[in-house]
Amino acid sequence: MTLGIVGLGLIGGSIARAAIERRLVTKVLGVDPNAEHRDVFAGWPGCEPVATLVDLGMCELIVIATPPDQVLTALDQLPTRATVFDVASVKGAIISGVPAERRHQFVGSHPIAGNEGRGPAAADPDLFAGCSWVLTPDGVAPERIAEVRAFVQSLGANPYTMSAEEHDAILALTSHLPNLLANILVGLASPQTQPFEGPSWRSATRVAGGNPELWTTILSMNASEVCGQIDRAIQSLEEVRDVIANGERMRLNAWLDEARCD
């Protein structure tokens, strides 16, 4: 099987390397406007950069690993016979925008995986081993869903099926809000605090400073759910602030104990 990948960054590159190393495909064709990305990709066994999306016509399975706001544009230019899935961390806005004539072939998906690196130089063939991988197959032909499910399982991932709306609500809490909070903490810091930023600080701010354009897109496309989680966080902070200010040690201890990760 020939695999096509649109977008040769961290996730697209990791899928390419994993698919070749696990012998899931015989060849990977990749499209990316970034010449440096194409050069790295071309250096991997079984991987060949091509110039346009039309050049992916021979691929049986195609991954769209672009920023979320570019997924539908890419889908519109891909062959109609291939099974196509994306890896964007926002699903509702994408699924609702898929044209009716493309619904049969497009499986919305999102691997809950990543690292601090950027681009194909950070690609890891083991990135998906043991990770959760969400599928949002609203209205898709069952055989296409089965094909994508089998592929992600072969990458070592554990597939979960849910609606696009459920995915966006969950990820607003487990991914999008933590990224915002990490950036808020960094914004509160100063050169004077830097010598005192220990392990707790590094853990809490690890994901800060990600790709600004990508995160602007993600947060904007999932604005309603993200804003709802921000409201919940503000409410919780106000409640614990009052507990601390009022010297309610027993309530504070109970609150901290409830949040422990045993």
Tell me the CATH number at 133.
3.40.50.720
Question: Tokens for 42?
Answer: 């071309």
CA distances to 43, 180, 184 from 76, in Å = 29, 32, 37
- d(Cα 112, Cα 127) in Å, to the nearest integer? 10
142 with 195: CB under 8 angstroms?
A: no
Question: Each residue's pLDDT tens digit in the chain (262 positions)?
Answer: 999 999 999 999 999 999 999 999 999 999 999 999 999 999 999 999 999 999 999 999 999 999 999 999 999 999 889 999 999 999 999 999 999 999 999 999 999 998 777 889 999 999 999 999 999 988 888 999 999 999 999 999 999 999 999 999 999 999 999 999 999 999 999 999 999 999 999 999 998 988 899 999 999 999 999 999 999 999 999 999 999 999 999 999 999 999 886 5
d(Cα 71, Cα 85) in Å, to the nearest integer? 10
* Residue-range definition of the domain harbouring residue 171: 167-258
Nearest to 72 by CA among 55, 84, 58, 57: 84
Indicate whether 36 and 137 sit together in one domain.
Answer: yes
Residues 253 and 137 in one domain: no
Apex 69 CA angle, 85 and 170, nearest 5: 70
CATH of the domain at 200: 1.10.3660.10
Domain match, 124 and 187 both: no
Query: Among the three residues 139, 162, 185, which one is the final residue of a domain in this structure?
Result: 162
Entry pTM: 0.92
222 and 208 part of one domain: yes
Q: For the chain, what is the domain count?
A: 2
Residues 10 and 131 in one domain: yes
Are both 70 and 151 inside the same structural domain? yes
What is the rounded CA–CA span in Å between residue 114 and residue 95? Answer: 22
173 and 235, same domain (yes or no): yes
